[in-house]
């Protein structure tokens, strides 16, 4: 654990607080969740559902998860044998990695990548093997030939993330076909981080691993109600996996958090039962915010990269002579302390970041007023 330090998200959020900056760094909404959802959780509390839930999650929530997956992906999952409710997607990922990684196993990660993957692999005694995404025409894509080259006899698994944090890009159908073929050919487990699964824009289809039966049979699907329902502080996520993998994941989960807050599980279950179309509104909701934020950034010297999903926007500043000499960490710090808008440097999503990249990430999961204020600061501050 000596190699681990405080995450960049904690660091930049603390700096934002100290600088009275608008926090577009850490990925959480600043708007309220649906009052119906909050009431459902409150009702569960007042009805005395305040003791331990079953280790794998309440039956009510697991049932709604199965319904959700069937609706979106046409995939039948077993409520008792293939679904586990976790303390957020972070615990889900941690449990998934520790469940399958043995000492000296190699796990391929596609960077830039969510910063939990690497330390979780190391905690399991494994070896993270990074394959950098290729930046082509301002879009980050997977070079599957590079992935194939990185596979050795010790490769145990590959972690994929679509829609991708931090890039905002999504898998195509060709990507999941390539992934399926590689996983089958080399007998790999796949950890598919799909926490932004309901935030895909411009009419695109989310290419979940669960859509393809052969791929689903060797996949651990990770999802997050915190992201989907705007309640990141509730820390409710879940894992879907074949029974054999689920048993291994639960073996880790039961000695980690054991279970997750009962009234919050029941509140979400009740909400999904009474609001079955709640997830259908997310693409349009966040696309409108993406478009608003991106349009406002056009009035700054920053160059925006494509955002096909998630609630993150990458911007490139390499062409701005005033800032081109700065590292992305220095630039993110400058934005936070001098301009009053916090961002996350893209280099923090790499083990060994490319030296030439000058890119930072903003989060646009904010009230329109927050985005307008942030844009005003960026337009004024970067123009000087």
Query: Residue 124 in contact with residue 252, Cβ under 8 Å?
Result: no
Structure tokens at 371: 């985005």
Residues 60 and 209 in one domain: yes
CA quadruple 322, 325, 329, 330: dihedral sign: negative
How many Cβ atoms sit within 10 Å of the Cβ of residue 76?
11
Same domain assignment for residues 137 and 166: yes
pLDDT at 1: 57
Average pLDDT over residues 280-289: 97
| One-character DSSP codes across 2-66 | TT----HHHHHHHHHHHHT-EE-SS---SSPPPHHHHHHHHHHHHTT--SPPPTT--HHHHHHHH
Q: 287 and 244 in one domain?
A: no
Token code pair at residue 122: 């190391």
In terms of domains, do 205 and 262 share one? Answer: yes
Mean pLDDT score of the chain:
96
Q: What pLDDT score was predicted for residue 19?
A: 87
pLDDT at 4: 62
Q: Evaluate whether residue 1 is within a structural domain.
A: no
Are 247 and 140 in a shared domain? yes
Tokens standing for residue 59:
């039956």
In a domain, 3, yes or no: no
pLDDT for res 148:
98
Residue 215 has pLDDT above 80, yes or no: yes
- Residues 181 and 223 placed together within one structural domain of the fold: yes
DSSP string, 243-309: HHHHHHHHHHHTTTT-S--HHHHHHHHHHHHH-TTGGGGHHHHHHHHHHHHHHHHTTSSPEEPP--B
pLDDT in tens, 268-277: 999 999 999 9
| CA 223 centroid distance within chain | 8
Are 44 and 144 contained in the same domain? yes
| For residue 261, pLDDT beyond 90 | yes
Q: Is 176 helix (H, G, I), strand (E, B) or coil?
A: helix
Residue 266 maps to a domain? yes
Please report, for the domain that includes residue 307, its CATH number. 3.90.1150.10
85 with 166, same domain: the answer is yes
Tell me: do 55 and 109 sit in the same domain. Answer: yes
Mean pLDDT, residues 6-22 taken together = 85
Whether residues 56 and 161 share a domain: the answer is: yes
Are 361 and 45 contacting, i.e. CB atoms less than 8 angstroms apart?
Answer: no
pLDDT tens profile 303-324 = 999 999 999 999 999 999 999 9
pLDDT band at 9 (very low <50, low <70, confident <90, very high): confident
Q: Where does a domain end: 237, 254, 274?
A: 274
pLDDT > 60? residue 228: yes
Domain extent for 370: 8-31+281-383
Enter the DSSP assignment of 206.
P
pLDDT tens digits, 116-132: 999 999 999 999 999 99
User: Is residue 153 a part of any domain in this protein?
Assistant: yes
Per DSSP bridges, beta strands 83-86 and 22-23 are: unpaired
Q: What is the pLDDT of residues 35-65, one digit of tens each?
A: 999 999 999 999 999 999 999 999 999 999 9
Q: Which among 325, 329, 357, 323 is positioned nearest to 345, based on CA atoms?
A: 329
The b/e string for 225-239 (b: 16+ C-beta within 10 A; e otherwise) is: bbbbbbbbebbbbbb
Asked whether residue 42 is assigned to any structural domain, the reply reads yes
Are 297 and 378 contacting, i.e. CB atoms less than 8 angstroms apart?
A: yes
Banded pLDDT at 7 (limits 50, 70, 90): confident
Tell me if 49 is assigned to some domain: yes
Structure tokens, 326: 């700065």
Q: 13: pLDDT confidence band, cut at 50, 70 and 90?
A: confident
Same domain, 234 and 303: no
Last residue within a domain, chosen from 256, 274, 292: 274
Are residues 198 and 322 both part of a single domain? Answer: no
183 close to 202: Cβ distance less than 8 angstroms:
no
Kindly tell me if the per-residue pLDDT of 3 is higher than 70: no
Q: Which domain-ending residue is among 233, 256, 274?
A: 274
Residue 2, in any domain of the structure: no
Query: pLDDT band at 5, cuts 50/70/90?
Result: low
Q: Does residue 337 sit within a domain?
A: yes
Q: Using 50, 70 and 90 to split pLDDT, how confident is the model at 226?
A: very high
Q: How many CB atoms lie within 10 A of CB 209?
A: 27
CATH of the domain at 157: 3.40.640.10
Q: Count the domains in the chain.
A: 2
Rounded average pLDDT over 145-162: 98
pTM, two decimal places: 0.96
């Amino acid at each position: 654990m000596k190699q681990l330090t405080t995450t960049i998200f904690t660091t930049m959020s603390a700096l934002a607080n100290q600088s009275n900056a608008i926090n577009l760094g850490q990925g959480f909404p600043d708007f309220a969740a649906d009052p119906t959802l909050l009431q459902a959780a409150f009702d569960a509390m007042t009805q005395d559902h305040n003791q331990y839930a079953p280790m794998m999650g309440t039956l009510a929530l697991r049932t709604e998860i199965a319904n959700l997956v069937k609706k979106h992906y046409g995939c039948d999952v077993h409520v008792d044998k293939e679904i586990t409710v976790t303390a957020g997607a972070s615990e889900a990922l941690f449990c998934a990695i520790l469940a399958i990684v043995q000492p000296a196993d190699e796990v391929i990660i596609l960077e830039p990548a969510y910063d939990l993957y690497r330390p979780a692999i190391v905690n399991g005694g494994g070896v993270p093997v990074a394959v950098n995404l290729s930046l082509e025409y301002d879009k980050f894509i997977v070079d599957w030939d590079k992935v194939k080259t990185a596979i050795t006899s010790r490769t145990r698994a590959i972690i994929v993330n679509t829609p991708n944090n931090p890039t905002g890009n999504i898998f195509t159908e060709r990507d999941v076909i390539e992934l399926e073929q590689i996983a089958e050919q080399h007998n790999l487990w796949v950890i598919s981080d799909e926490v932004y699964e309901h935030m895909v824009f411009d009419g695109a289809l989310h290419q979940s691993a669960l859509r393809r039966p052969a791929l689903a049979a060797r996949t651990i699907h990770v999802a997050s109600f915190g992201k989907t329902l705007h309640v990141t502080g509730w820390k409710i996520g879940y894992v879907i996996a074949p029974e054999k993998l689920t048993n291994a994941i639960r073996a880790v989960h039961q000695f980690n958090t054991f279970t997750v807050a009962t009234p919050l599980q029941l509140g979400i279950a009740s909400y999904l039962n009474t609001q079955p179309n709640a997830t259908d509104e997310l693409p349009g909701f966040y696309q409108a915010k993406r478009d608003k934020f991106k349009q406002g950034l056009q009035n700054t010297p920053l160059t925006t990269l494509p955002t096909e999903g998630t609630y993150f926007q990458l911007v490139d500043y390499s062409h701005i002579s005033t800032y081109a000499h700065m590292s992305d960490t220095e630039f993110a710090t400058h934005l936070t302390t001098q301009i009053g808008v916090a961002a996350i440097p893209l280099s923090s999503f790499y083990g060994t970041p490319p030296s030439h990249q000058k890119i930072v990430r903003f989060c646009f999961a904010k009230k329109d007023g927050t985005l307008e204020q942030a844009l005003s600061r960026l337009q004024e501050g970067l123009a000087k």
